[in-house]
Each structure stands twice: as structure tokens, then as C-alpha cells.
Structure 1
Amino acid sequence: MLRRQRSKAKDVLFSENGKPAHVCTGCGRCRSENGKQLFDRQLAEGFTGIYELKDGSIMEAHEWDDPDWEECGVDPPLGSVYYDIYENGEGVDGGVMGYDRGDTIGNLSDFVARSNSDGISRLIAAEGTPEYDEIYGALGIPKDYLPIKRKYSLSKNKKAVAVEPGQNLGPDGSPLECGDCGSNNCELCVIEPTGSWLCRCWSCGNVFYQYPEWF
């Protein structure tokens, strides 16, 4: 999945009592921005950060500076949210949402729930914090993401489900096929908390995802 470079934030967003927002591990004891005030926050006031969705996946959202709304036949909105969704550090989905004044992070949560997997559960780290830089640097690199996932308690209580060897049919009933080598010598290995299938090609060793909800 393509990653866009962005300029460094001028101010730390989601500040709490004059201090940068910390990483919330969902303990319920801290009075962080993960309350009603998070979902009431206007997108025009800033939203760039890393969020956890209700299904356990991770979403990074930032301002998109160069959308071509005119090509889509719609009037340009005030701004645009560009977001990527990750499972275990691997990019699996994403999207773009235009916003105007009055639109909130709650509206973004509803949009993600309608268009992708599930709505926002909590803010993990805001842009401008060391935690954001560390987590963002590992997204898209599964081997680097695993220790970050443990450090910041990103696993939640939902678990991936291992599948007994032998299932080699895709969600539509046809044999699983490797996108790298084209082999059908592939098997479903794990069903992720989001419902996506983690598969392996035994011919070339490629690991890939299938998405049953698409069929």
C-alpha cells in the first residue's frame, strides 16, 4: 500500500492539560482523549493519528492535500481524510473521506464502519508524539510491528484463529491462488479477528490475504 510523506506537524494535536496525548492502552482509568470529546472533535481542528478500530485492526489517518474531487464530479470539500488500515502491521485496506465544517471524528468512525471493517474504538497516538513516530514507522513492516504491538498493548482480547491444514479453496469456492507465482498450492492458515484470511503459498513461500466479505 502506498505511503505518503507528510510535513511535520507544527503543533501537537490532542493535547491534554498542556501535554501531548499519551498512548492509551484501554485500561479505562486514564482520562485521555478517548472519551466522548474524541468523537466530538471537529476534523477541521486536526485528526492525524493512529487509531484502533473496534475489530482490533489499526488505522492511520492524515490530511490528504491533493485529491482530485473535480474528476469525480463533486464539489471540493473543506478537507480530505486519507486513511490506511492494517492487520498485524500489514496494510489491508484504506480509503478517502471528504469533510466540511461540522464533521467530526465520530463522522469519520461511521464512514469507516460503512466502507471498511469497523468504526473507531480509541485514539492510540496523535501525530507529534514519539509514540506516533514509533508506531507509524513499523506500519507496513510486519516483522517490525510485532514488538510495537506488544509494547503498546495493541493486540486487545481478540485472537487470530489457526486453521487445520488442508483448506485450499478461496471464499468463492475456487482454489486459492498465489498472486506472486500463480501457483494453486496454497492453504488458508489463519483467520484474523477482522475476518480476513491469512494464506500461504507452499510453492514460493508468499504470504497473502483473502477477504471473504468481498464475495
Structure 2
Amino acid sequence: MTTGLRLVQDAAEGLALEAALFAAPDLGVLLWSPQRRSIVCPASLIRKHGLQDQGRFAGWPIVARPTAGGAVPQGPGILNLALGYSVPAGTTIEDGYVLLTQCLRQALTEWDLKPGHTAASFCDGGWNLSAGGKKVVGTAQRWRPLPDGGFRVLAHALVLVAGDVRGDARLIAALHRSLDLPPVEPDAHETLCGLNDQQEPDMSDIADRLYRASWTQLQQVGQSRVAA
């Protein structure tokens, strides 16, 4: 069981930690934040548009990820949460998103985050978490079958904690224009810091809160799997 926030050099290192969590058999919670900026894209998008993993766009490295969706920024001020766990047959992807968003909303109650699409946001999805109509959290999952008929799940959330998220979104918008993808609007995004006029959120504190909430939820998943 890994505790605490991992400050990694770049997104490639964080994604490697997630891959190890996905390959492991045990319950796990991972929190990481990269110190170098990059654009993370689905490997399928990179192949389709002739981009290059570890290539560059506007000076930012491009890093491939195995999940679907769209391009996202990574760098200081962005916190990544990954949950690794196993579920029995009959569990659905929607169940996975419900679990993940429960962890996030339980830990971040004062921001009153709501699930659903956020129009014109980067990597938009029905399980975004938004506040005031602006995207704050993006979510994704990976699943693989297990020999007993169940599944191994890696659930991931990207949390916009602080920093120039609109500047980051402008970069993603430029990438979209260069690839003839749907437009991205910088003002469709906000950070936890931007939503909190009283106090700048501390990333380590938020990571600790997410860890505690996530571990509580995962223990219940583990108990259910044993019972099944």
C-alpha cells in the first residue's frame, strides 16, 4: 500500500507507476504530480495523426498513454489519482466511474463537484467533475480480464489543483486546431485554487485526503470481491 504524494520528473514516469499498479494483484492507491510539463495523448490518437511518442508540440513533449479520450496537459499544479483493484464478473465500467467519483467528491466536499460533460473542455467525458460549469477533474479507466472471470481495473483522475490551466488549455486548443479536432475553450476549465478565493489549496493535503477517501472505498471493493 503506497501512501503520500509522489513528485515525479515527468508524465512518462507517472504513467509507468500506473502501469505497475495495474499489473499488481493487490489493492492500491497512487497519487503523483509531474515536475515537467508535457502533453499526454492516447496512443491511438498519436498513431492516427502521425504524431510521435516523445515528439514535441510547441516545445512541449508528447507522451503516449494507453487509455482512450483526448489530449491533456500535465505538469506542476496537476495531481493524478490512480486506483488499482480487482472486481468480479458482472461489474460494469459505470460502476468503476461511480467508485472513482465517489472518492473524489468525498475528499473534495467543499468544492461541490458535479459529474457530467463539460462542453468544449479538453478530453471531455460524461464522468468529468465540474464546478460552476467548468471542468476541474477528468477521469479514465483501463480494464483487463482475469482468469477467474473478473477484471483488473485501473481508474485514473486528473485533478486541476493550481497553475495556469487556461494557458495549458490554449496549448491543447492549438494542438486540436493543427489536427482538425473539435475546438477546446480555455475558459471551460478551472483549478481548485481558482475556485477557492479564501485560500490556495495545498497539494499534499489534497493528496492525503484523496488517499484516505480512496482507500476506504477500495477496502469495501476488496471485501465485496472476497464475498463474491
TM-score, normalised with respect to structure 2: 0.24
TM-score, normalised with respect to structure 1? 0.25
Q: By percentage of residues, which structure has more helix?
A: 2
Greater C-alpha Rg: 1
Higher relative contact order (CA 8 A, sep 6+): 2
